[in-house]
């Protein structure tokens, strides 16, 4: 079963705080993981991809992957109101099959 | 470059009618995807094409057919629309050559209502 699960939220944090988004997956066959951001009424866009255990940092964003626990997370430091969006976790399986979680809606309050 | 384009942007159908959603990409990508997005459900993969000449079922293929017309174009057909197919449909593409080339680029979406 190829499932990706996220806490649906909503998650609310004050401006400047750290937002923590979590995702679990059920199939160990997934090797690649992605975080997409989707503003209301818009298309998803990639924030981070992660392929190996550990942390990957890009600016204010850090993705973490733990394959033993089948867990992926995204940390957003110094959260800004412009980070308010829905964040989608995705896992890629063999032959480019992709599965997305339901998304977590984040609100950053000024 | 236009990226990924989809037509139409909006469509209203009556139950039982058929229609084809069109998708094209100008990034020379190998892989293309069709998703539907319903409130609270995230993106669900309908069909995908890992490369020109191949198509595979995703998570929710029932009621849909696809055609990978050429490397640029990937169409989604609803043969007999049902109200349960009311959704926003996204097309996406990626290079699809393995790790590091699998970022998906999404089109603007088609908002479909079936009455």
CB pairs < 8 Å spanning A and B: 60
Which of 40-99 (A) contact B at CB < 8 A? 43-46, 49, 51, 88, 90, 92, 95-99
pLDDT in tens, chain B (115 residues): 789 999 999 999 999 999 999 999 999 999 999 999 998 778 999 999 988 889 999 989 999 999 998 999 999 999 999 999 999 999 999 988 777 788 899 999 999 999 9
Which distant-in-sequence residues (6+ apart) come within 8 Å of A89 by Cβ? A4, A6, A21, A23, A33, A34, A35, A72, A74, A100, A101
Measured CA to CA, the distance from residue A36 to residue A77 in angstroms comes to 16
Task: Inform me whether the pLDDT recorded for A1 exceeds 70.
Answer: no
Q: A56-60, A89-93, B74-78, B96-100 — which is least confidently predicted?
A: B96-100
What's residue B33's pLDDT? 96
Q: What is the pLDDT of residues A21-54, one digit of tens each?
A: 999 998 877 778 999 999 999 999 999 999 989 9
Tell me whether residues B96 and A43 touch, CB distance under 8 A: no
Residue among A34, A45, A95 whose CB faces B50 most closely: A95
Measured CA to CA, the distance from residue B45 to residue B92 in angstroms comes to 10
Give the position of tokens 């998703």: B35
What's residue B101's pLDDT? 81
Which distant-in-sequence residues (6+ apart) come within 8 Å of A59 by Cβ? none
Q: Which two tokens stand for residue B64?
A: 């849909």
Measured CA to CA, the distance from residue A16 to residue A5 in angstroms comes to 27
Measured CA to CA, the distance from residue A78 to residue B73 in angstroms comes to 41
What's residue B79's pLDDT? 93
């Amino acid at each position: 079963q190829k499932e990706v699960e996220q806490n649906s939220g909503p998650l609310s944090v004050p401006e400047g705080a750290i937002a923590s988004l979590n995702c679990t997956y059920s199939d160990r066959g997934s090797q690649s993981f992605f975080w997409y951001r989707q503003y209301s009424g818009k298309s998803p866009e990639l924030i981070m991809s992660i392929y190996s255990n550990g942390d990957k940092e890009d600016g204010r964003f850090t993705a973490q992957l733990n394959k033993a626990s089948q867990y992926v997370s995204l940390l957003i430091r110094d959260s800004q109101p412009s980070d308010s969006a829905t964040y989608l976790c995705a896992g890629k399986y063999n032959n480019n099959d992709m599965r997305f979680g339901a998304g977590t809606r984040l609100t950053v309050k000024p | 470059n236009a990226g990924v384009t989809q037509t139409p942007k909006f469509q209203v159908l009556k139950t039982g009618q058929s229609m084809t959603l069109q998708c094209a990409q100008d990034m020379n990508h190998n892989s293309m995807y069709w998703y539907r997005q319903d409130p609270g459900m995230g993106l669900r993969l309908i069909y995908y094409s890992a490369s020109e000449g191949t198509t595979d079922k995703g998570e929710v293929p029932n009621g849909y057919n696809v055609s990978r017309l050429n490397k640029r174009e990937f169409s989604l057909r609803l043969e007999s629309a049902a109200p349960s197919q009311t959704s926003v449909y996204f097309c996406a593409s990626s290079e699809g050559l393995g790790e590091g080339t699998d970022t998906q680029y999404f089109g603007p979406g088609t908002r479909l209502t079936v009455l």
